[in-house]
Homo-oligomer: A and B are copies of this chain.
Amino acid sequence: MLIGELAQRAGTSTRTLRYYEQHGLIRSRRSTNGYRAFDEAELRVVHEIRALLAVGFDLDDIRPFVACLRAGHATGDVCPDSVAVLRRKLDEVDTCLARLNTVREKLDHQLNEAIAHREKSCLRRTVP
């Protein structure tokens, strides 16, 4: 499978695939042309990469999952390294959620204050 086909089937661009390969996430043989030749299995790998990227993982985080797939497992998340990353990411997300909730409260408070203040000055202006 050439890079264009893989890109199309995976719903991404050739640029992106070359980038993944450059960073060791996907693999290819080279035809005598110099063209990359991809195994069918790489399609699954690319899907895994894309799914994890979409969730907020970066390429380094994703590496263990790919390795896990290559090791023959049905899913990329069952290997110890992947689980470790999952744990870490879950922690990160929880931390982020906590911070965001704090921010949300602040914003909400500030918004209410500002509106209250505006309504007060509105009263002052309309009933002087």
A100 engages B100 (CB within 8 Å) = yes
Any B CB within 8 A of the CB of A117: yes
Asked if A106 is at the interface (CB within 8 A of a chain B CB), the reply is yes
**How many of chain A's residues have a CB under 8 angstroms from any CB in B?**
31
Q: Is A110 an interface residue (CB 8 A)?
A: yes
Within A32-70, the residues touching B (CB, 8 Å) are 55-56
Shortest C-beta distance, A73 to chain B (Å), equals 9
Among listed A4-12, A23-31, A79-87, interface-contacting one:
A79-87
The 8 A-B residue pairs with the shortest CB-CB distance in the complex, in nearest-first order: A77-B114, A86-B111, A90-B107, A78-B117, A93-B104, A78-B114, A83-B114, A55-B103
